[in-house]
Chain A
Amino acid sequence: MSQNPETPENPVGAASPVVIQVEGVHKTFGDLHVLKGCDLTVRSGEVAVLVGPSGSGKSTLLRCINQLEEPTAGRVLVDGVVQGYRAEPLPDGRWQKLRPVEIAAQRSRIGMVFQRFHLFPHLTALANVMEAPVQVRGLPRAAAEAKARELLERVGLGDRADHYPSELSGGQQQRVAIARALAMDPELMLFDEPTSALDPELVSEVLGVLKDLAADGMTMVVVTHEMGFAREVADRVVFMDEGRILESGTAEQVIDHPRSERLKGFLASVL
């Protein structure tokens, strides 16, 4: 291999394959230009932490990766596969959109955890975790249940399996949501401010689960304002501002030695 494993763009090592490739993605909502040409590469096993001021487009970028939003321009590849469109353009130059089932299949390999959990309130914690493996993958119920119990155990909630979400604390709900995403054996996980809706004393229990996942080698993109977490876990910190990626590098480079005035100002406001 000719690549240098020490380059900041590639802190994990040249051997690990690219999982997410965001190429020149723009996103507009009517007249509002939210993403203004974003490029991002995340390699297998890498933890990328996305930081930036409110409204800078972090959630929108994350949502473009698993097609909850359609990019207006540019494209997203996961494992080298174009998301949402056929690999090759049509003869007239247009891109053929995939059918809903094909998009669903692409999404099922990407786990997502939301700021406000979005657990299914009519299902117990266990049933929340079992739902997608049974309904999407067609796993037999017994196998799905065994797996769900194992995952709940892993996030420290083995004894809460029969509780409904309304009977769990915020931190417990978010851990169930993580277990629910893991149940689909995702190749990568997206976290959109997973601890922002939590009381301060509950933040650490969720960050603990994220750290364990990172240690197990999960590829992760995490939007967060927790700089301590970024410093400890991130292989790469990405700073977004006004729809652009302004700086990207190790936590040391980005958090401790910011180059742009925007990043200095942002860090002053969150640290």
Chain B
Amino acid sequence: MYNDSVIGVAAAEADMPIRSNLSFTCSHVNLYYGSFQALKDINLKIERNKITALIGPSGCGKSTFLRTLNRMNDLVPGCRVEGEIMLDGVDAYKDVDPIVLRRHVGMVFQQPNPFPKSIYDNVAYGPRLKGITKKSELDEIVETSLRQAAIWDELKDRLKKSALGLSGGQQQRLCIARALAVNPEVLLMDEATSALDPISTAHIEDLALELKKKYTVIMVTHNMQQAKRIADRTAFFYLGEMVEYGDTEQIFDHPQEERTIRYVSGNFG
């Protein structure tokens, strides 16, 4: 079971086409939950080695859009996706196995969801799935991932304790560590810092800036300051549409669309 999946990943990596500076290219993406259309004709090119922020009022479809990128919406009964989503020039819906896709596109959920396992086993979960069983190797991955998520010092003495006993903010950072442990190329973060104190938030922001050197980060945030601080590109969503997309400075300082102007200036009503 484990070995098969390892071969799967290796094969996928070998087949990867030459890398462009684009990560995801979405063309005419429509998404329906039953008869409700949650995403309307989304066209978006997400750049590699950049942080892209998704902003917009609650219920506008940010999480939904994020879930189309790693095909987590496949699990929602009655959910239908139209259009084309290309990852590195490969059709993510036609030519990639969702399991392989999710190994390359990691996700941190809006609600922290650590497994009912020890802290160590939570982080080691992904690497073990990939077939890594050597204790020393796992130890190293666990430590590195927890350090990256700015939680190693807090947790290093209680790795064998249940993850469910952690505070909400600690759980969220643990989930970030768990996602990093499998070395994804793209990291999707759904309001990953909304439950964190300013210091941990700053750590996670530093982490995102560090990660973008190697990876691509796409983050949903309700915190405008955060988007301004770290995002290179920002997309504004409203009622299932992508209203405006551009360099972060442009979106915040010189928005073109009326709805963007009102949203970023806080006069939305």
Q: A and B, one complex?
A: no
Residues of chain B touching chain A, judged by Cβ–Cβ distance below 8 Å, are none
